[in-house]
């Protein structure tokens, strides 16, 4: 029972890592903001500006947390082999795609493509393992 809880906690840590990396991306923050404005417009509330602009100020810390959580997840994977390799690959792709640093923004399309391909590879291997009936 305790082992199962530990495995679920470690899996959740990996998922949080991937989610934090995506939230660290300016494009995602921008899309969320536009979606919020559209949703508020549908119910009759008019908003000017970007109500979620504050997320751009925390993009780098969120991305850094995602990288640190990914490192912890990889260390646990190497020691215990109890985490899905495909989940780690997927999260690494999301973190690469969500690189938020202004100094590398001119290369952001490459980060998106390479990170997206890595994440897609993780999904592909996950589906392939499920079809073949493998557990981990």
Q: What is the pLDDT along the chain (136 residues), one digit of tens a residue?
A: 666 777 777 677 666 666 655 555 555 566 666 677 777 778 877 766 666 666 677 778 888 888 888 898 899 889 888 788 888 898 898 888 888 777 877 888 888 899 889 989 998 998 888 888 776 5
Output the six-digit token pair for 125: 């291997």
How high is the pLDDT of residue 53?
A: 67
How high is the pLDDT of residue 124?
A: 92
Q: Where are the domains of the chain?
A: 2-132
Nearby residues of 126 by Cβ (< 8 Å), 6 or more positions away = 84, 86, 87, 90
**3-class DSSP state for residue 133?**
coil
Radius of gyration of the chain (CA): 17
Question: How many Å is the maximal CA-CA distance in the chain?
Answer: 54
């Amino acid at each position: 029972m305790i082992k199962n809880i530990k495995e679920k906690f470690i899996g959740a840590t990996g998922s949080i890592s991937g989610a934090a990396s995506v939230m660290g991306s300016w494009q995602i923050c921008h899309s969320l903001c536009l979606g919020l404005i559209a949703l508020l417009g549908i119910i009759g509330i008019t908003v000017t500006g970007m109500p979620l602009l504050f997320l751009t100020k925390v993009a780098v810390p969120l991305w850094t947390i995602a990288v640190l959580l990914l490192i912890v997840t990889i260390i646990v994977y190497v020691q215990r082999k109890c985490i899905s390799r495909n989940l780690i690959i997927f999260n690494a792709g999301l973190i690469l795609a969500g690189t938020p640093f202004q100094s590398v923004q001119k290369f952001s399309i490459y980060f998106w493509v390479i990170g997206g391909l890595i994440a897609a590879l993780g999904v592909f291997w996950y589906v392939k393992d499920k079809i073949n009936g493998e557990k981990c």
